[in-house]
Chain A
């Protein structure tokens, strides 16, 4: 788990904020991180869908709306520490502010890619964590 985490940090996928998130997890909310991240995924998928819709449905795209979506996406990404996703969001927003359709499309591609990568990695992380918890749960009685 730590290795996966380290890798993600190293790649810049995640930043310190994720650690903060983990700090917030305690006995009272043992699955806090995964809960937050799941909410994040849920939200993000909606946002991504909207963004794609906005970009592809017509010739004219509602860049303002797109900017709002992106702001939201950026906010949530940064608050879970998804650094790379956030960075792509920033680029995306810059493109949308310039009404640069091609740039937006490219950024969207990238964003989706980053998002998928993050999602996969975090799922992996949680899976490992779950296993660890299970294993820990098994070991504890034995130690006693």
Chain B
């Protein structure tokens, strides 16, 4: 019974697995090969319920026979069936057992009954066995037996009553008869039952039936699943012919598919791929998945995910494939879009980060540069303090040792200053703050000045020379300061690295490099040609410069040298002439299509140590020197060339280098210049020199060759006109913009270069400030005299004065003696204030007449008649400071405290200069100036009276001076002193009749400039 129950359970589980209730419409789309109703549309196809044997049994058999899966499936089924069978057998056996037992019992009973009968018959009246019968009856069909039992007992009770009667025995006998009959009947029933059981068993034991049942269930289930599965399932045989296909979205008839291959069914892209893929799986025997995009006429463009699994035979051979395809077009499309988006996002992000990085870097760089500039500036201010203090110290009485120490200190300070200037320049250029000025200048002048300066500071036996081609315009427009800076830089560099031989400059016009680059027809000469983009120009120069010499030089450097030798040996005027001629030719080849712009090439060549080829790429990098060894040996910061390059590029030109180690280098830069068309003279500070010695200017303008022989051989200044003895001023670097015309707030560092030899650093350092040079040049030019006296303070004063003179002259080109006398006075004053000995060795060459020099002595006493200066200032501190400064400058001043007092003072005395504070109590400087001006114009003080100032009778002294009456005609220079040097305030001052203004704090330098300007 228990096992029976177990089996029931088993079956129940099975039935839950295989739902029975699959509708009759199930599996409409199930295409099976052997199905008879193939000609119908698949949608209307067989209801599988009608035809339970949906499976191609032959194929199934094949499958079960040949495939492992099938066999395992079969084995399972058989096992299952066997198990069931065994169960059933056991059940039957048990049944049989129980039945036979019953029979046995019944027989036993029968026997007993018979025995009892006999026994009863022998000894009547033993009632005990009845209970046994009862027990026997108890076995089968309990409830009815109980009844029976009850009946029997009742009967017995009845019988008990009439125990000894015959009737009783009769009754008893009948009763037993009945029992026996019943027993037989039961036996019969049991036998029947047994028979039935057997029959049943027989019926149940058909394996095919069971299997088909199971298969049917499986099929149903499959149908159920597949009905809603949006997939294509198929089985293909070895030749990839469809044997079975299930398609959720069928578009083809069954017969179109079954027995055909993919290729036969479809056309279009992807089909072949699928076929190949299936083939591959078939061959490899490994399941695989792949996404294949079909582009067929049948269903358009669709992507299918195809999972192909090989089917093996029992022997391990592949006999076909199962495949499942799923339409993943949407997913693929989504995925692709996603990928695209993701890609875009990634790109975006990358861009963003790149951008951020760039921004960051830019910001950082800008900040760094700004900081560098600021820092340099900040360093410069205190350092200038240090240096100027040291200079002041140097002007005091010092013993030799102290002076030496001071010299070292000064030169070091100077070096640091220059370094900082370099950095400042560099950061200015890099941060784009650097502004170029377009000023007119004379290239010849520039070359000459640079060479002159270099010669002045030269401590080596070197020949400095310069060639300027004839076709170089006399005047061009460019940023002369920067050009000079570049030239000076290159020259000082060249000198630094040259121990003997020559250093020189060549200037010549080249055609526009953008138009006529390949013009040069000369053979390539230099090994470093890869480096320079414009060697043509160099070569041109070289070959021209060597026209007198060896034409067969195989190497650029040797040619160079020979060229140099030529310069030495040959007639000095001839070579340049030739080269000019050549360049002229070159220029003629390219007629002046560039009317306004001219490209001038400048070579700076030397016969120095040269530059190794491997150092060339880093040559123009910042802080880079050829080697650490060089840096140690020659010093310098490595900034000079970087600055040069940047400056040149800033001006739209190019700087290149070619070099031969141990033989020399040539730095070449070409720059575009505008050619000035008008010949009016601007106020360019650079032209002072030209103007100051305009006597010579005529020959200057055409001068094309300069040579500076080593000083030890006697300082020779050779020009076209012939050579003149010329001594150079002692080395005087370090003036910074002291000659700026406007003179606002420029600090001047002037230090005596008493001993140039101890200050080699300043000349050696590769980056001299152009401004410095300009100053020196101006000085040396304008003074145009030989001054063994190294006092630069005086020189500076004089220089400034001369420049001012020059300035005047530029407006009034007639040089009248008063200018010279003025200058002389100024010189005298400066000399006096400094109390320095002054030897009159001035040799006038550039147009200052000897009379002028001699007249100076006469004029000095005149100049001691101090011009009167009035300071109008309410601030005691400023008064004191200014007073003291004036004292230092050798002037005494009158001081009044406000505008009203100033007006009174002007009424009383005549002044040559008034320094007027703007903001003052009672009457401010502007009003006071207006009043004074109105007096000057009208000759009366009516305006002042109106303003509430009483007229004061002029004092005697002014009358004595004979100026009292005249003063009304003369315009007193009034200089405003203002604390806020804003432009508008300056305008206000000028609008109110002031001549100039000085911003506070008033410095010695400013005062000096001011006095120089307004007190001749």
Contacts and interface: CB of A to CB of B under 8 A. Distances in A.
A79 to B, nearest CB: 4
Contact of A43 (B381, B876, B882): B876
Interface of A: 6, 9-10, 15-17, 19-26, 28-29, 32, 35-36, 39-40, 42-43, 68, 71-72, 74-76, 78-81, 90
A75 to B, nearest CB: 4
B747 A16 contact: yes
Interface of B: 381-382, 384-385, 388-389, 392, 747, 874-878, 880-882, 884-885, 887-888, 917, 919, 921, 979-980, 1000-1004
B877 A17 contact: no
Nearest to B388: A19
Given A16-B384, A25-B884, A75-B877, 9 more contacts: A35-B880, A36-B880, A72-B875, A72-B919, A74-B979, A75-B878, A75-B919, A79-B875, A80-B881
10 contacts: A10-B382, A15-B381, A23-B888, A26-B888, A29-B884, A36-B884, A40-B876, A72-B874, A78-B979, A80-B1001
A81 B882 CA distance: 13
Contacts of A74: 979-980, 1000
A140 B921 CA distance: 49
> By DSSP majority rule, is chain A's interface helix, strand, loop, or mixed?
helix
A80 B876 CA distance: 11
B385 A9 contact: yes
A79 B915 CA distance: 15
Nearest to B383: A9
Contacts, number: 88
Contacts of A68: 919, 921
A16 B1003 CA distance: 9
B1004 to A, nearest CB: 6
Given A9-B385, A71-B919, A72-B875, A78 B1000 contact: yes
Contact of A24 (B382, B388, B885): B885
A138 to B, nearest CB: 20
B877 A20 contact: no
Given A16-B381, A24-B888, A79-B875, A36 B1000 contact: no
Contacts of B887: 24, 28
Contacts of A21: 881
A39 B880 contact: yes
A23 B885 CA distance: 9
B919 A39 contact: no
A29 B1004 CA distance: 17
Which residue of A9, A15, A43, A71 has the most chain B CB atoms within 10 A of its CB atom?
A: A71
Nearest to B396: A26
A70 to B, nearest CB: 10
Which residue of A36, A74, A80 has the most chain B CB atoms within 10 A of its CB atom?
A: A36
B382 A17 contact: no
> By DSSP majority rule, is chain B's interface helix, strand, loop, or mixed?
helix
Contacts of A40: 876-877
B979 A71 contact: yes
A90 B437 CA distance: 32
Which 8 residue pairs are nearest across A and B when measured between Cβ atoms?
A76-B877, A24-B884, A17-B1001, A78-B1001, A79-B878, A40-B877, A71-B919, A75-B979
Contacts of B747: 16
A75 B881 contact: no
Contacts of A26: 888
A45 to B, nearest CB: 12
Contacts of A15: 381
Contacts of B1002: 79
A76 B1003 contact: no
B382 A32 contact: no
B381 A20 contact: no
Contacts of A29: 884
B157 to A, nearest CB: 130
Contacts of A24: 881, 884-885, 887-888, 1004
Given A10-B382, A75-B917, A20 B878 contact: no
Contacts of B888: 23-24, 26
Which residue of B875, B877, B881 has the most chain A CB atoms within 10 A of its CB atom?
A: B877
Contacts of A72: 874-875, 919
A63 to B, nearest CB: 15
Nearest to B917: A75
B979 A43 contact: no
A39 B980 CA distance: 22
Contacts of B381: 15-16
Contact of B877 (A6, A9, A36): A36
A39 B1004 CA distance: 20
B885 A20 contact: yes
A79 B979 CA distance: 9
Given A24-B881, A68-B919, A68-B921, A19 B876 contact: no
A20 B1000 CA distance: 13
Nearest to B977: A75
Given A20-B1004, A43-B876, A74-B979, A79 B881 contact: yes
A90 B382 CA distance: 22
Nearest to A43: B876
Nearest to A12: B378
Contact of A19 (B385, B885, B921, B980): B385
A32 B919 contact: no
A80 B1000 CA distance: 10
A81 B1004 CA distance: 13
Contact of B392 (A9, A23, A76, A79): A23
Nearest to A89: B979
B884 A32 contact: yes
Contacts of B382: 6, 9-10
Contacts of B1004: 20, 23-24
Contact of B875 (A16, A28, A76, A90): A76
B109 to A, nearest CB: 129
A74 to B, nearest CB: 5
